[in-house]
Amino acid sequence: MERDKVILVNESDVALGQMAKMEAHRRGCLHRAFSIFILNANGEMLIHQRASNKYHGGGLWTNACCSHPQPGDDLKESALERLQYEMGIHCELEKVFSFVYKGEVENGLIEHEFDHVFRGTFDGIPHFNTVEVADYQWIDINELLQWVANSPDTFTIWFRQALPLLLDEIAFTTSLS
Q: Which residues are catalytic?
A: 66, 113
Give the C-alpha separation, 147 to 140, whole Å: 11
Residue of 54, 66, 69, 62 whose CA lies nearest to 4: 69
Give the C-alpha separation, 145 to 84, whole Å: 26
Give strand ranges (E) for 21-105. Answer: 31-39, 45-50, 61-63, 65-67, 93-104
Burial 68-98 (b: 16+ CB within 10 A, else e): bbbeebebeebbbbbbbbbbebebebeebeb
Cβ(34)–Cβ(42) under 8 Å?
Answer: no
